[in-house]
Amino acid sequence: MLKSVRKQVLDQVWHQVWHQVRDQVRNQVWDQVLDQVDDQVWDQVFDQVWDQVGRQVRDQVNAEIS
């Protein structure tokens, strides 16, 4: 009986600790990945849009001046 209770308590503690650690690690890694992807995608999109819009504005200004 005592072995059974001890095993049950150990299983419950292990289960709780495992889930807490897993959730913390998963959240930290997920946040880091999202931050990296967000930074990279934002930089790429911003650069592409800025280049395109800048080119169009320069072309329009040049057309108006010429």
Task: Quote the DSSP letter at residue 1.
Answer: -
Q: What is the pLDDT of residue 54?
A: 84
**Helix, strand, coil shares, percent, the chain, to 5:** 95, 0, 5
Residue 66 has pLDDT above 80, yes or no: no
**pTM exceeds 0.85:** no
Q: What is the pLDDT of residue 16?
A: 93
| 10-60 per-position pLDDT tens digit | 889 999 999 999 999 999 999 898 888 888 888 888 888 888 888 888 888
